[in-house]
Amino acid sequence: MNRTFWNLLLVSPTILGLSSVVSAAAIAAEAPATAEANQLATAQSSESKIAEIVGEIVAEPVAAAPAAPEKLALNSSVEAAQTPVVNEADAEKLASIEPETSEAALQTTPQTTGSDIELAAPSAPTSAAAATEPLAAAGTAESSPQASDLAVQISPTDTAGKIEVPAVASTPATTPATTPATKVEIAQTVPAGMGGPIVPVAPQALPAQPSGTMSQVTSVTQLSDVRPTDWAFQALQSLVERYSCIVGYPDGTYRGNRALTRYEFAAGVNACLDQITQLIGSTGNLVTKDDLAILQRLQEEFAAELATLRGRVDGLEARTAELEANQFSTTTKLAGEAIFAVSDTFVGDGIRLEDDRTVTNFGYRVRLNLLTSFTGRDLLRTRLQAVNVANYGASTATGTNMARLAFDGEEGSQFTLDELYYRFPVGPATVFVGPKGLDLDEIADTVTPFNSTGTGAISRFGVRNPAVFRGPQGAGASLTFNLGPLRATGGYLASDGDAPNPANGRGVADGSFSALGQIGFFSKPFDLAFTYTHKYNRAGDVGIMGGTGSSLANRPFGQATTQADNYGVQVNFKPSPRFQLGGWYGYTKAEQLRGGGNDATIQNGAITLALADFGRQGNLLGFVFGVPPKVTESDVARNRNTSYHLEGFYRFQVNDFVSVTPGVYVILNPEHNNRNDDIWVGLLRTTFSF
């Protein structure tokens, strides 16, 4: 961008000269009656000519970039193209060129523009970093809001210690230059001819200087960092000594290697045009043949580049228009997941054909998620689901919930509304509210790497702690406070089957519900959470452990109204990103509310091991060993033996969108009864994410 700015500044004297010629011709032809009319006509002619030249040579195109999608449907953003920087090798090549000291060479040395396509910013830069770029301007030292778009005000009382902001002079000099500047023969670091673009030396980072009032420069020698050997010296000398169109920093530097924004460029050109307009009405030799020659050669030199840029801009505009016309929504993005699952079970001491009591089946689950954001920080989630995967807890299969898959379900292959909730921030807190599908594991952290039915553990028990993260759920609200490494969550969820029902014993308060509270500590090497969940199951809708563990653990008192206080501790140790060792423990105290005052104690626990990037990046090798929910004490009945759950799976990440997970798990002593044969479950899961 530095080269672009210097070349545009060099064009300014040429434009001035051309404007003077046109103005003089207009004055001689029309000969207005008064001096005031003469000055007005000349200014109008000059402005028209200047606009035509500037529009052809220095207009920069605007490139629109397509919005990049974000995981949570954030509002689109536009990235600006980066300006290339000349490396040291190019600088050495330029230094090796023999200087041309003839007068003709000095007068016809081209100044090139080297800017790439830039994005048009919708508003003036507001950050301090964007406002500190230098700007060459004319007139007074103070900047004017009308002359530039820089939203920075500098006063003498608060400038010390702040980042310095260059000013744009909007008031033209009171005394116009009436005589051309004396030509000086100096050594240049550019080729003598106009055959190729001139590349500036590599920009050097300059330290920030204390801010202060900008000073008007009347001689190029006042700029301590501008030397006669600089490739843009002639342009600066002309702008300073002929047109008074440069303002320097208070420390006497110009900082020509710093980047230039489009706003600064517009402000600088506007200030120079104001100065030119005033000089047009004055007398004197303002135009030389050399100026006209430079202008013509610049037009010829960059004709191909400008045509290429125009073509690229036209192409980008066409693509942007097509995307805008065919996009799904400006606020909503579609994300989906499809699972193909081949599974089978075997019962007995080993995997033999005579032990196969079920047939191999091929099921699926499809989820379509509509992720909508209205502010960029909120999320409205709408999920449609169709699922048909074997439920091995049914009496026609293994007959125990311990063998169930993580993603089973039979909904008749019909798409149904599976989830609908809204999440939004309130200060340091996050609020969830929804009438359908809002689950306990969504409002609170499960502290396990396997909590995904599509890419995590393959069994229902191995996904998360069932004591505190399964139960009546679906409709309600929650509030989570983020206090650095600490996180506190409170929520209330009613069964989404009871919440919309107005009958007595149903609804949000009278039907089945879960009330959760959690305090967690989350750090880089260690995650720990303590969770409490109070569950109420109305008569006929009892399932304390959410379809995991033994049948007795889910209904210790049959279908009688039951309430339970559930306590869980979850931990996950992460010494490295590729190794995670964790687990959970759940303790439940259940009470029969009607038909008797019986109590029961239910416990469960598991140890998990996750090896990320095992074999290749994105893969996951996982193991789960645990004891499914078991009734250890009860006034009615308890489980006398203990079942063990052993699970292993390997997720192979084919690419960013497809993963294949073979896995197997075995239930020893199903239903906590050592007289039952072991149950083996094999699964091949393929997950497509889009």
Q: What value, to the nearest 5°, has the Cα angle with vertex 496 and ends 490 and 502?
A: 110
For the cut 90, the answer to whether the pLDDT of residue 27 exceeds it is no
Over 80: is that where the pLDDT of 148 sits? no
Question: Distance from CA of residue 143 to its chain's centroid?
Answer: 35
Q: What integer best gives the mean pLDDT of the chain?
A: 74
3-state secondary structure 378-429: CEEEEEEEEEEECCCCCCCCCCCHHHCECCCEECCCCCEEEEEEEEEEECCE
Tell me how far CA of residue 422 lies from CA of 330, 380, 512, in angstroms.
18, 4, 22
18-32, 228-242, 476-490, range with the lowest pLDDT = 18-32
pLDDT, tens digit, 9 for 90 and up, residues 92-136: 443 444 444 444 333 433 343 333 334 333 343 343 333 333 333
Q: Is the pTM of this model over 0.75?
A: no
Task: In whole angstroms, give the CA distance from residue 293 to residue 483.
Answer: 68
Which tens digits make up the pLDDT trace of 506-559? 999 999 999 999 999 999 899 999 999 999 999 999 999 999 999 999 999 999
265 CB contacts (<8 Å, ≥6 apart)?
A: 5, 8, 60, 135
- The type of residue at 602 is I
Averaged pLDDT for residues 571-587: 96
Residue 350: per-residue pLDDT: 53
Identify the helix (H) or strand (E) that includes residue 435. strand 429-438
CB-side neighbour CA atoms (13 Å) of 319? 11
Region 576-590 average pLDDT: 96
Residue 665 has pLDDT above 50, yes or no: yes
Whether the pLDDT of residue 463 is over 80: the answer is yes
Looking at residues 184-195, what average pLDDT do you find?
38
The dihedrals phi and psi of 346, each to the nearest 5 degrees, come to -135, 140
Compare 236 and 687 and report the one with higher pLDDT.
687
Each residue of 360-383: pLDDT tens digit?
Answer: 999 999 999 999 999 999 999 999
User: For the ranges 212-221, 363-372, 597-606, which has the lowest average pLDDT?
Assistant: 212-221
Spatial CB neighbours of 545, under 8 Å, sequence gap ≥ 6 = 401, 466, 467, 470, 553, 554, 588, 602, 604, 629
Averaged pLDDT for residues 25-47: 43
Q: How far apart are CA 192 and CA 559, in angstroms?
A: 97
Query: What's the pLDDT tens digit per position in 318-365?
Result: 988 888 777 778 889 999 999 999 999 988 765 555 556 789 999 999
Cβ atoms of 228 and 106 closer than 8 Å:
no
User: What separation in angstroms does the CA of 106 have from each of 111, 182, 294, 296, 533?
Assistant: 11, 13, 11, 16, 84
